[in-house]
Amino acid sequence: MAKSIMLIPHGAGNIGSLMELFHQVGYFPHVAQSPSQLDHVDMAVLPGVGASGSAMARLRETGFADALVRMNERQRPLVGICVGAQVMFDKLHENDCTGLKLLPGEVARINGGEFNNGWADVRLEAQAPARPEAAGMARQKPLLLKTEAKTFYFNHGYQINTGATMQETGYTTQGKKLLAYFVRDNLCGIQFHPEKSQAAGLAFIANTMKHYGF
């Protein structure tokens, strides 16, 4: 039986584009209709464009915020994209609110108020072994290094700042050093837009799915 994948709606997600992205790499997610569905799903994907504060407000209003926390407690894979990655952390300076608090850290304006918009190269920064209790996952392998193309499309004005230990992180290599993606056990955050990153984005998502045993 195929494992279940659900996209989480919060009013500011690029659901259609991500659905097409997953279809292109051979996966067929559904859009979650209620928070209770996350109690039985194998993976959730939290998309996002726009403001992280607005996304969090919507997740709380609909009950998906609590459902995502419960899902994380069960160590089910959660993939956050752009704003979806940002809301995993403690503090969101945009709209001055708290995130899901799945990881320690904050999301603050890029230094100088700049906007990171366009294509940027990404390099692997660090790897560490996964926790022994992170059961049911494939052995940790690089996500990015298996991707021939390492240039991805970004569109954000806020950056993730965290001291959390990750199994793998990637950073932009041009201009300011910005966190591009991270892997920590069942959590994967992607700051760039894989659905806009052409072949590189397709390969990255395919590798992410394989990493989590899909």
The per-residue pLDDT of the chain, averaged, comes to 89
Neighbours of 77 (CB within 10 A): 25
Sorted by where each starts, the structural domains of the chain and their CATH numbers stand as: 5-211 (3.40.50.880)
Give the phi and the psi of residue 151 in degrees, each rounded to 5.
-110, 125
pTM (predicted TM-score)? 0.90
pLDDT in tens, 171-188: 998 778 999 999 999 999
Spot the catalytic one: 94, 156, 168, 195.
195
Question: What pLDDT is recorded for position 135?
Answer: 44
Give the phi and the psi of residue 61 in degrees, each rounded to 5.
-60, -40
Question: What pLDDT is recorded for position 131?
Answer: 56
Nearest partner of 178 among 127, 129, 117, judged by Cα: 117
**Annotated catalytic, 193?**
yes
Q: Is residue 56 predicted with pLDDT exceeding 70?
A: yes
**Annotated catalytic, 195?**
yes
According to DSSP, residue 189 is labeled: E
- Contact between residue 98 and residue 150 where contact means Cβ atoms under 8 Å apart: no
Q: What is the mean pLDDT of residues 83-89?
A: 96
Spot the catalytic one: 94, 156, 168, 193.
193
| Two structure tokens written together for 208 | 């992410």
Neighbours of 89 (CB within 10 A): 24
Residues 124 and 108: their CA atoms lie apart, in Å, by 22
Question: What pLDDT is recorded for position 140?
Answer: 52
Portion of the chain with pLDDT greater than 70, in percent: 87
Taken as a whole, the chain contains a residue count of 214
User: What confidence category does residue 148 fall into, taking pLDDT thresholds of 50, 70 and 90?
Assistant: low
Spot the catalytic one: 10, 82, 188, 211.
82
